[in-house]
A and B are shown apart, each in its own frame.
Chain A
Amino acid sequence: MMEDLAMHILEILMNSIGAKAGRILLKIRESVKDNIIEITVTDNGSGMSEEMVKTVADPFTTTRKTRKIGMGVAFMKGLTEQCGGTFGITSRPGEGTEVKASIVRDHIDAPPTGDLGQMMMYAIQADETIDFEMIYETDTDQFVFKSSEIREMLEGVSLLEPEILLWIKEYINEGIMRAKEGMR
């Protein structure tokens, strides 16, 4: 069902959007040297209590209170366990949440990366007023995308214009491809 990494990450991003974040930072580090893919999503949304953090990854204890968080966290945690990785959430009510996940890069169960440009396009579509920042880091290079930069360039034109959305998708995918060039 969640066939690629991009869709797993999108679920986490949607949680941040649901938590009324104004700023969401996504960092992906793909390292051949360390044989790891690390994903960090940091937001300044409503955050969660310690108690809620404990239960949030368990789909069966999800109640109304935790409604904002769906199955996404449980899926992501399951994936990291399956792929020899780690998973953790730190959160403070009123300050925000950080979700950190990692998987072993060449693990046999590691899913394909998927379309990260499209994933960011979806996230922006969900709420264009949020400042999204995405950093894709490899051993040799780095690509940085900031939706605030795009918004500034557009001076009042909506990010939701379909041409702009498609441009963003391709811009991100090209940037990631370039960052990955030195890898293999």
Chain B
Amino acid sequence: MKSLEDLKKMREAALKKVEMREGGKDYRVVVGMATCGIAAGARPVLNKLVEETAEKDYNCVVTQTGCIGMCVYEPIVEVYGKDGSHTTYVHVDADKATKILEEHIGKGHIVEEYTVDAVKALEG
């Protein structure tokens, strides 16, 4: 049974992590969760991102936004780096989400084949 008291422990654990990182997280991972995103399957993607980030302690914060304006490419996941970089991944599913975390957040390598540019090029 969960109680509000749990939060005290979680707070301390979170603070420890923040100290280790010295000032904020390196990446912000944003999922499009408007009607179009949800309809295309953004929900399992967002869940996977939150769960994996909690479990593997990736250096990112997972948030969500409304319609990104490319509904046909949903589910869309955008990755913003602390250095100002911005990558847009499209047609993401739970497996692709796992790989994006592993490669991009974990190792700093963009998963080129899932990016909007690669998918657009492929579709001609």
Contacts and interface: CB of A to CB of B under 8 A. Distances in A.
Contacts of B67: 70
Nearest to B67: A70
A164 B14 contact: yes
A153 B34 contact: no
A161 B14 contact: yes
A157 B13 CA distance: 10
A11 B36 CA distance: 11
B33 A122 contact: yes
A149 B14 CA distance: 18
A163 B13 contact: yes
Contacts of A154: 7, 10-11, 14
A126 B2 contact: no
Contact of A126 (B14, B43, B65): B65
Contacts, number: 82
Contact residues on B (Cβ < 8 Å of other chain), bracket:
20 to 34
B7 A153 contact: yes
Interface of B, secondary structure class, is helix
Interface in A129-175: 149-150, 153-155, 157-158, 160-167, 170-171, 174
A157 B62 CA distance: 15
Contacts of B34: 14, 70
A18 interface: yes
A108 interface: no
B10 A158 contact: no
A163 B55 CA distance: 8
B64 A125 contact: yes
A126 B64 contact: yes
Given A7-B38, A71-B35, A154-B14, 18 more contacts: A11-B35, A14-B33, A70-B35, A72-B35, A118-B43, A125-B64, A126-B65, A126-B66, A153-B4, A153-B11, A155-B11, A157-B15, A161-B14, A162-B62, A163-B14, A163-B54, A165-B54, A166-B50
Interface of B: 1-2, 4, 6-8, 10-11, 13-15, 18, 33-35, 38-39, 43, 46-47, 50-51, 53-54, 61-67
Interface of A: 1-2, 7, 10-11, 14, 18, 70-72, 75, 118, 121-122, 125-126, 149-150, 153-155, 157-158, 160-167, 170-171, 174
> 5 tightest CB-CB pairs across the interface, nearest first?
A162-B54, A153-B7, A171-B2, A162-B53, A157-B14
